[in-house]
Amino acid sequence: MLNITKGKIDRALKVVAYGSEGIGKTTFAAAFPEPLFIDTEGGTAHMDVRRIDKPQSWEELLSIVNEVAADPNVCKTLVLDTADWAEALCVTHVCQKYKQNSIESFGYGKGYTYLAEEFGRLFSALDAVIASGKHVVITAHAKMRKFEQPDEQGAYDRWEMKLSKQVAPLLKEWCDMLLFLNYKTYVVTTETNAKKAQGGKRVIYTSHHPCWDAKNRHSLPEEMDLDFKNIAHLFKTGSEPAADAVKPIDRLRSLMTEANVTDAELQKVVADKGHYAADAPIDTYSEKFISGWLIKYWPQILNLINAGRTVLD
């Protein structure tokens, strides 16, 4: 039967905030409810915030996100600072996996196809964080690119995220809010008829413009001062995680399905490590064991399972 519901669904939000260096992306993200930073560039070094040690590999990053999803009390907002650094980790992982020197070495654009597929694993992990009742904020650097309209003469500068053409669209689709942070300037004519830029107020753009990408689903003003208080009403500080938050066993089952792992394969690894008997059903594993070992070390466990498959082949 069809399970039909009506009305708004109250869930955590997925936010992407991008802008040029020094605009205040990290400071903005720090104002979200109880943030926990995956700080990859040291942007929080002089800020009184909670942070996780910098991941050294793509698999370690995924492991951290999975662990945050499984812990109901670790934070209310997970901040990944920044997306372009995460993509760099993903590129390194893909190149090592397929034994290539660079993402361009694959030929026929296959490297970027693999990159987009692999980055999708991060979105899946972040979706589990959202399902657990925690907001997700991703920051990204911005770059300016010359853009030419095919049906018009001339060109203009356009701001976009400093990501590959394969990953950027995926991130824009995934988020609920894409916020462009920039300085608002205007041009004045001096007494000598020279053009001079003035202003410099920091603002948030929330809607699409020919010169930048932005979106929101909450009827926000197209332009606001760069201050979290302007969107604070969208975030219920102090609210409890969603009632239907993903349970550790459900998260584990999702990871198993994603990697085509059978119960028997996982049971063998667990038994080999001396945690449970080989015939113990996975559903009988304790939540603490599932969250603190299976989900936390899933990339390493998956490597053991794949190694066993190779031996059998």
Written as tens digits, the pLDDT of the chain (313 aa) is 677 777 666 789 999 999 988 899 999 999 999 999 998 887 788 889 999 988 999 999 999 999 999 888 899 999 999 899 999 999 999 999 888 888 888 878 788 899 999 999 999 999 999 988 999 999 999 998 876 666 555 666 789 999 999 999 999 999 999 999 999 876 666 666 666 556 678 999 999 888 889 999 888 999 999 999 999 999 865 444 444 456 788 888 888 888 889 999 999 999 998 899 988 899 989 888 888 888 888 888 988 888 888 665 5
β pairing state of 77-81 and 35-39:
parallel
DSSP assignment letter at 33:
S
**174-212 per-position pLDDT tens digit:** 999 999 999 987 666 666 666 655 667 899 999 988 888
Mapped onto helix, strand or coil, the DSSP state of residue 178 is strand
Mapped onto helix, strand or coil, the DSSP state of residue 107 is coil
What is the CATH code of the structural domain delimited by 14-234?
3.40.50.300
How far is residue 204's CA from residue 215's CA, in Å, rounded to a whole number? 11
The amino acid sitting at 42 is: G
Q: Which residues contact 25 (CB under 8 A, 6 or more apart)?
A: 17, 18, 19, 43, 81, 82, 139, 140, 181
